[in-house]
Amino acid sequence: MPAKLSVNLNAIALLRNRRDLPWPSVIGLGRIALAAGGHGLTVHPRPDERHTRNSDLPEIRALIDDEFPHTEFNIEGYPSEEFLRLVEKNQPDQVTLVPDDPSQPTSDHGWNFAESAAFLTPIVQRLKKGGMRVSLFSDPDPVGMAAAADTGADRIELYTGPYGSCHADSGKAAKELDKLAKTAEAARAKGLDVNAGHDLTVDNLPALMRAVPFLAEVSIGHGLTADALEFGMAGTVRRFLKASGW
Where are the domains positioned within the chain?
4-243
Active-site residue, 76 included: yes
What pLDDT digit, counting tens, does each position of 47-106 carry? Answer: 999 989 999 999 999 999 999 999 999 999 999 999 999 999 999 999 999 997 766 556
**What would the CATH number be for the domain defined by 4-243?**
3.20.20.70
pLDDT top residue among 206 and 104: 206
Q: Is 198 an active-site residue?
A: yes
Taking only the tens place, the pLDDT of each residue in 122-173 is 999 999 999 999 999 999 999 999 999 999 999 999 999 999 999 788 899 9
Average pLDDT over residues 35-46: 97
- Is residue 44 annotated as a catalytic residue, yes or no? yes
ω into residue 69 within 30 of 0, thus cis?
no
* pLDDT of res. 108: 67
- Which one of the listed residues 39, 51, 72, 198 is annotated catalytic? 198
Predicted model pTM: 0.96
Catalytic residue among 44, 51, 72, 217: 44
Q: What is the 3-state secondary structure (H, E, C) of the chain?
A: CCCEEEEECHHHHHHHCCCCCCCCCHHHHHHHHHHCCCCEEEECCCCCCCCCCCCHHHHHHHHHHHHCCCCEEEEEECCCHHHHHHHHHHCCCEEEECCCCCCCCCCCCCCCHHHHHHHHHHHHHHHHHCCCEEEEEECCCHHHHHHHHHCCCCEEEEECHHHHCCCCCHHHHHHHHHHHHHHHHHHHHCCCEEEEECCCCCCCHHHHHHHCCCCCEEEECHHHHHHHHHHCHHHHHHHHHHHCCC
Half-sphere exposure for 77 (CA within 13 Å, toward CB): 27
The reported pLDDT for the residue numbered 167 is: 79
Of 72, 76, 157, 176, the active-site residue reads: 76
Q: Write phi, then psi, for 37 (nearest 5 degrees).
A: 120, 0
